[in-house]
């Protein structure tokens, strides 16, 4: 055996020892330290066995100690008459164990640095209406024209004297003025949006309404409901609904939620006469009271914005990234939106003119406390979600039966991949009719159309990976977002450094943290790009980052091929 092969053999043996002995070593070390093990009653510490040899205990307690012993014996054997092969293998065995111990220490240090970065950037998202302290009655608001209508609600622009400072002792929000040329409606004078739900079969009591429409309350802030009404939102159509969800820059926030009598608003008789109560329309089927939700008024839906604007290549990537960050936040909270489409995404422009996106309309969401992102699908009566065209393959092809469960953990991320086509100026392939249209139940990945050539390579890779049929081969929203973060902020370091090393990744994260902190100290206003960087650092995880790098390297190779 050559010297090189002998050294390699020693390293392989030390690595095998690590994998074989790591768990037994931890158990033996716990015994020696007197720590309780599983199955040991509380208060009765496991003591070291007296007949265990001291040398065995030493090896099991410390991998570093084992390496030191092996290296010492390897040196002694070099000076003895042992065979050359055995001497070299034994020494390499000790050196390999020492390197493994050093690598473990570096990994622990990188993980600790990562946790410090998370803690530094984990901050509570604050909404812009800090003085929003009232508004639990319909009479508190001035309602303007209708700005949207769906299958279960109508949305109107609204204003309130407490939502903005008064000027000259009068509330200027009640005065409607002409919209600015680049805005489709008078957002400056009606900064709020009021969503009036259509109540067909929920009854007219506040408790029944809040319970039946509780999915709409998932993004509500803690002060959205009056104290006495918060206990009525425990159960909805799909079971237990969380009482609150932490705010996020890319998810809508419901400021107020209350029940009131249905008013006759502008366009009601023409737009939705059948859902009005009989007192407003004798032929109407609606109840007298319903749920009202108050949110921030955004100038566009994503569909409306894309009809009048063409995002640049970087803006398009940032828009996809914002959707992934919003979806990842929902997944962390155990929530699946299940109706993600361009009509359910709102847009405004930041101070630099970059589109800022928020996810809205949670009427079809899954937010069960017992099952999380998994839904038992034992009957066709179980609602599997909203828009059938943008339903992920694993959801669209699910067949009800005993023990069947639909996993929604990656379904919203799949929908983001489909919406990306619209963001980059193409028709959504899952909306298109005719032979060019795709059906999520039976499409093949090779049928996916190519994105325009101006789309960055890494963004193209992410979109293709998000639209994989097999959810096991599809990256999660967190990993897909990390891929775009690395592509956007990694720069030349992405191609020049060894990203398989956790220390390299941790060093890069520390540099990025310093850059973001320095930008945050400047008097410049917050932008979409800065907010995304903060979200990335607040959720960074070295395992997810390593998975993102693996997907990115694989996707680039496939794309170039």
pLDDT at 76: 58
Mean pLDDT of the chain: 77
**CATH code, 138-297:** 3.30.200.20
**Would you identify the CATH topology of the domain 342-560?**
Transferase(Phosphotransferase); domain 1 (1.10.510)
pLDDT at 460: 95
Residue 374 main-chain phi, psi, to 5 deg: -115, 135
- pTM of structure: 0.78
pLDDT at 16: 57
- DSSP characters for 417-460? HHHHHHHTTS--TTT--STT---TTT--GGGSPPPPTTS-HHHH
What residues contact residue 531 under an 8 Å CB cut-off, 6+ apart? 249
Which tokens hold the place of 278? 């009989």
Query: Which active-site residues does the annotation give?
Result: 339
Query: For 37-88, what is each residue's pLDDT tens digit?
Result: 444 444 444 444 444 444 444 444 454 555 555 556 555 555 555 555 555 5
pLDDT at 532: 93
Q: Which is more confidently placed, 396 or 166?
A: 396
pLDDT at 56: 45
Which tokens hold the place of 273? 């006469």
Task: Tell whether the model's pLDDT for residue 184 goes beyond 60.
Answer: no
Query: For 210-266, what is each residue's pLDDT tens digit?
Result: 888 888 999 998 888 886 555 554 444 444 455 468 889 999 999 999 999 999 998
Hey, which of 175-184, 263-272, 471-480 has the most confident mean pLDDT?
471-480
Task: Tell whether the model's pLDDT for residue 423 goes beyond 50.
Answer: yes
Q: Which is more confidently placed, 71 or 203?
A: 203
Residue 207: how many other CB atoms lie within 10 Å: 13
**How far is the C-alpha of 264 from the C-alpha of 242, rounded, in Å?**
32
According to CATH, where is 1.10.510 located in the chain? Answer: 342-560
According to CATH, where is 3.30.200.20 located in the chain? Answer: 138-297
Q: How confident is the model at residue 170 (pLDDT cuts 50, 70, 90)?
A: very low
- Average the pLDDT over 3-16 and give the result: 54
Q: How confident is the model at residue 510 (pLDDT cuts 50, 70, 90)?
A: confident
Q: Are 256 and 293 in contact (CB under 8 A)?
A: yes
**How far is the C-alpha of 429 from the C-alpha of 390, rounded, in Å?**
10
């Amino acid at each position: 055996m050559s010297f090189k092969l002998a050294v390699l053999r020693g390293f392989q043996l030390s690595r095998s020892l690590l994998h074989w002995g790591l768990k037994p070593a931890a158990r033996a070390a716990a015994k020696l330290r007197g720590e309780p093990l599983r199955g040991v009653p509380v208060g009765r510490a496991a003591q070291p066995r007296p007949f265990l040899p001291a040398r065995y205990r030493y090896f099991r307690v410390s991998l570093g100690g084992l390496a030191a012993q092996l290296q010492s014996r390897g040196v002694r054997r070099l000076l003895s008459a042992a065979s050359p092969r055995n001497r070299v293998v034994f020494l390499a065995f000790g050196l390999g164990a020492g390197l493994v111990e050093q690598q473990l220490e570096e990994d622990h240090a990188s993980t600790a640095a990562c946790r410090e970065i998370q803690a530094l950037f984990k901050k509570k998202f604050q909404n812009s209406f800090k003085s929003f302290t009232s508004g639990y009655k319909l009479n508190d608001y001035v309602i303007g024209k209708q700005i949207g209508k769906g299958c279960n609600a109508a949305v109107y622009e609204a204003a309130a004297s407490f939502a903005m400072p008064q000027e000259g002792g009068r509330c200027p929000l009640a005065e409607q003025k002409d919209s600015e040329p680049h805005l489709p409606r008078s957002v400056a004078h009606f900064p709020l949006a009021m969503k009036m739900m259509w109540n067909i079969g929920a009854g007219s009591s506040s408790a029944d309404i809040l319970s039946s429409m509780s999915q709409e309350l998932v993004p509500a802030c803690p002060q959205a409901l009056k104290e006495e009404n918060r206990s009525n939102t425990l159960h909805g159509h799909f079971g237990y609904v969380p009482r609150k969800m932490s705010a996020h820059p890319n998810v809508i926030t419901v400021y107020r939620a209350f029940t009131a009598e249905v008013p006759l608003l502008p366009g009601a008789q023409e737009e939705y006469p059948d859902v009005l109560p009989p007192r407003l329309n004798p032929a109407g089927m609606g109840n007298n009271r319903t749920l009202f939700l108050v949110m921030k008024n955004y100038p566009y839906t994503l569909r409306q914005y894309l009809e009048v604007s063409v995002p640049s290549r970087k803006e398009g990537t940032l828009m996809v990234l914002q959707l992934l960050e919003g979806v990842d936040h929902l997944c962390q909270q155990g929530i699946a939106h299940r109706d993600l489409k361009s009509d359910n995404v709102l847009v405004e422009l930041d101070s630099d003119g970059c589109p800022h996106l928020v996810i809205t309309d949670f009427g079809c969401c899954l937010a069960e406390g017992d099952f999380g992102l998994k839904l038992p699908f034992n009957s066709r009566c179980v609602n599997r979600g909203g828009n059938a065209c943008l339903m992920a393959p694993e959801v669209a092809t699910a067949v009800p039966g005993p023990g069947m469960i639909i996993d929604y953990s990656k379904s919203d991320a799949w929908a983001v991949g489909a919406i990306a086509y619209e963001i980059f100026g193409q028709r959504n392939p899952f909306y298109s009719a005719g032979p060019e249209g795709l059906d999520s139940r039976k499409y093949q990945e090779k049928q996916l159309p190519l994105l325009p050539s101006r789309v960055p390579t890494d963004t193209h890779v992410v979109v293709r990976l998000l639209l994989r049929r097999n959810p096991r081969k599809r990256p999660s929203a967190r990993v897909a977002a990390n891929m775009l973060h690395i592509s956007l902020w990694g720069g030349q370091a992405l191609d020049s450094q060894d990203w398989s090393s956790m220390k390299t990744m941790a060093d890069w994260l520390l540099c990025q943290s310093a850059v973001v902190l320095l930008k945050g100290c400047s008097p410049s206003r917050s932008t979409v790009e800065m907010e995304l960087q903060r979200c990335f650092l607040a959720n960074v995880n070295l395992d997810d980052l390593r998975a993102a790098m693996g997907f990115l390297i694989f996707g680039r190779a496939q794309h170039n091929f």
